[in-house]
Amino acid sequence: MDEDAEKLYALARKYILGEGESQSYEKGIPYLQKAADLEHSKAQYNLGILLHQGLGVTQSQEEAFYYFKLALAGGHARSAYMIGCYFAFGYLSLSSYEIAVQFFQQAADSGVADAQYDLGVCLLDGKGINKSEELAVKYFKLASDLGHGDAQYNLGICYYYGIGLPVSEKKALYFLELAAKQGLTKATDAISVITKLAYQGPHAML
């Protein structure tokens, strides 16, 4: 890796994240841009994020997408996930779950939890890929192991209803509690409902 690019990226982080310096996009972004120009893939990805969100720069999804592609060419796995999001959620009028799934798969195979979760959702719903509850659960488990709250919630629901795996109220509550600890209100609500139904007995849903 280019040492100059790494130094520039480190300076960018100091200002943009306020690591030992006062937080300042104005001071940090020029360093980030220079590092990106030197083909630093993390700098390219993070510049893409700032452009996508309009943080410290004029928002531009076109430019963001450009830098995500550069970062991916440099081996930055999470950039594949962001490109997938552009196709899945229709940014820049790009709309193709089939293409999105390909990028989600690439990022998921590299251990990106968000990609594993979204790939699981696509598999569960049959969007852009053949529906498979078993494979969906596999990717929810992978993302859950990395601490992904929504994946933990989905895994809990899958265990409760027997979607892609055997029914287990005990395991359902375990994963829902993990999600609840991360602040997911829907997980807390689900725990309350399950606990209430269990307390009321087998006729509770009649």
The 10s digit of each residue's pLDDT in 148-183 is: 999 999 999 999 999 999 999 999 999 999 999 999
Q: How far apart are CA 26 and CA 45, in angstroms?
A: 18
Q: Within this chain, do residues 188 and 124 fall inside the same structural domain, yes or no?
A: yes
Query: Among residues 30, 102, 97, 116, which one has the least CA distance to residue 72?
Result: 102
Q: Is 183 left (phi over 0), alpha (psi -120 to 50) or beta?
A: left
Domain presence at residue 205? no
For residue 134, CA distances in Å to 4, 63, 166, 190 come to 47, 38, 11, 22
Q: Within this chain, do residues 65 and 36 fall inside the same structural domain, yes or no?
A: yes
Q: Can you give the residue range of the structural domain that contains 167?
A: 92-200
pTM of the model: 0.91
Average pLDDT over residues 176-191: 97
Q: Within this chain, do residues 43 and 122 fall inside the same structural domain, yes or no?
A: no
pLDDT score of 200: 59
**At 29, which CATH number?**
1.25.40.10
Q: Within this chain, do residues 117 and 186 fall inside the same structural domain, yes or no?
A: yes
Secondary structure E strands in the chain: none
Torsions phi, psi for 79 (to 5 deg): -65, -35
Is residue 205 predicted with pLDDT exceeding 50?
no
Q: Within this chain, do residues 96 and 196 fall inside the same structural domain, yes or no?
A: yes
49: its two tokens? 């994020």
pLDDT score of 21: 87
Average pLDDT over residues 56-74: 98
pLDDT score of 77: 97
Q: Residue 180: CA atoms inside 13 Å, Cβ hemisphere, count?
A: 15
Give residue for tokens 């990609």: 115
pLDDT tens, position by position, 100-130: 999 999 999 999 999 999 999 999 999 999 9
Q: Within this chain, do residues 36 and 121 fall inside the same structural domain, yes or no?
A: no
Q: Within this chain, do residues 99 and 155 fall inside the same structural domain, yes or no?
A: yes
Domain presence at residue 102? yes
Domain presence at residue 83? no
Q: Within this chain, do residues 69 and 98 fall inside the same structural domain, yes or no?
A: no
Q: Within this chain, do residues 104 and 157 fall inside the same structural domain, yes or no?
A: yes
Domain presence at residue 84? no
pLDDT score of 91: 95
Q: Within this chain, do residues 61 and 7 fall inside the same structural domain, yes or no?
A: yes
Report residue 1's pLDDT band, with 50, 70 and 90 as the boundaries. low
Q: Within this chain, do residues 102 and 186 fall inside the same structural domain, yes or no?
A: yes
Q: How far apart are CA 151 and CA 75, in angstroms?
A: 25
Under 8 Å CB-to-CB from 104, ≥6 apart: which residues? 80, 81, 84, 88, 115, 118, 119, 122
Number of domains in the chain: 2
Q: Within this chain, do residues 193 and 98 fall inside the same structural domain, yes or no?
A: yes
